[in-house]
Amino acid sequence: MFEVKEIQAKSVLSKTTLKDADFDYSVNPYYGCRFGCVYCYASFMGRFVGKNVSDWGNYVFAKINASELLAKEIKSLPDKGRGKVIWFSSVTDPYQGMEAKYELTRKCLQVLADYGFAGTVTILTKSDLVLRDVDIFKRFKKFDVGLTITSTDDKVSRFFEKMAPPVSDRLKALKTLNKLGFKTYAFLGPLLPNILADEKELDKLFKSVADAGTKEIYVEYLNSSNYLIGRLREEIKNLDPELIKLFEKSKNKEFRKEWDANINKLVKKYNFHFRFGGTIYHPEMS
């Protein structure tokens, strides 16, 4: 059963504690995410609202006072936030389905625009609903927007990303944003091991982003923490046993070296700018 709840949050502008992060603050207008991606690291957030990792995708708590909180909290940043980066969003998707009803992301963006926020606003989503807010995006002097692209096959994206819009719609949205002149990027992450193990599929993934007109990319390997591998194993248990082995091999450092080489070739082939200077991987892969 899917649960929706309206809540009063205590804060919405969160300062990052990640030392290598390329953003200073995040805004998460929702707890939970209806998209329910089986690989999502943010499933741990459930513990803050009495939910289990296995509940991910089955609840969304809307912070209905998000914009009012942001209007107050943004005033604490000196010089109107000049030189700072605010990211929508770190542990939810700002344009998940509930956003069509509540418009919390839109309202928060309006707060920043009306305030004259002088820093950078960056957005990452899996939804073409992002196109709804291009009128507000145009109001920011420093702004970029990214779409998560993990496959070129809608069947694959639907399997792993449950309720998210099909990847074909995301690629169309990315192309539209580029035509409108926005600075865009693609988040190729997590790179699923079954795609990493197939050079043709990997090439198709990179080519799809290049064809959409985007030249900046983040690339990230699967977070293979035990709680995520457990969820993935449960999801794919009725599929090809070799696929399960591929996911478990994603922790192997030697495989990462081989994958790095293939990825670097594609970055050069399609003339991408590699944000972070290379593929992001997690401590358990070292």
Same domain membership, residue 234 and residue 188: yes
Last-in-domain residue among 147, 181, 197 = 147
Q: How many CB atoms lie within 10 A of CB 78?
A: 8
Together in a domain, 200 and 107: no
Q: Are residues 2 and 31 in the same domain?
A: yes
Q: What is the DSSP letter of 60?
A: E
Q: Output the pLDDT for position 157.
A: 85
Is the pLDDT higher at 257 or at 119? 119
Sign of CA dihedral 210, 167, 185, 18: negative
Verify that 171 and 36 share a domain, yes or no. Answer: no
Together in a domain, 135 and 164: no
Token digits for 14?
A: 């969160």
Give me the domain span that covers residue 5: 1-147
The verdict on 137 and 157 lying in the same domain is no
pLDDT at 283 (0 to 100): 65
- Are 152 and 205 a contacting pair, CB within 8 Å? yes
Q: Residue 45 and residue 35: Cα distance in Å, rounded? A: 14
Give the C-alpha separation, 150 to 189, whole Å.
Answer: 6
Query: Alpha-carbon distance 133 to 105, whole Å?
Result: 9
Over residues 79-107, the mean pLDDT reads: 97
Widest CA span of the chain, in angstroms?
56
CB atoms under 10 Å from CB of 265, counted, come to 14
Same domain? 8 vs 143: yes
> Cβ-count burial of 228 within 10 angstroms (0-12 exposed, 13-18 middle, 19+ buried)?
buried
pLDDT band at 286 (very low <50, low <70, confident <90, very high): very low
Burial class (CB in 10 A: 0-12, 13-18, 19+), 18: exposed
Name the domain boundary from 125, 147, 169: 147
Same-domain check for residues 117 and 175: no
Banded pLDDT at 102 (limits 50, 70, 90): very high
What's the whole-model pTM score?
0.93
The Cα 247–Cα 217 span in angstroms is 23
* Total of domains in the chain: 2
Q: Are 68 and 105 in contact (CB under 8 A)?
A: no
What percentage of the chain exceeds 90 in pLDDT? Answer: 69
Q: What is the pLDDT of residue 250?
A: 67
Average pLDDT over residues 51-64: 91
Burial of residue 44 (CB within 10 Å: 0-12, 13-18, 19+) is middle
Q: Report the half-sphere exposure of 151 (CA within 13 A, side-chain side).
A: 17
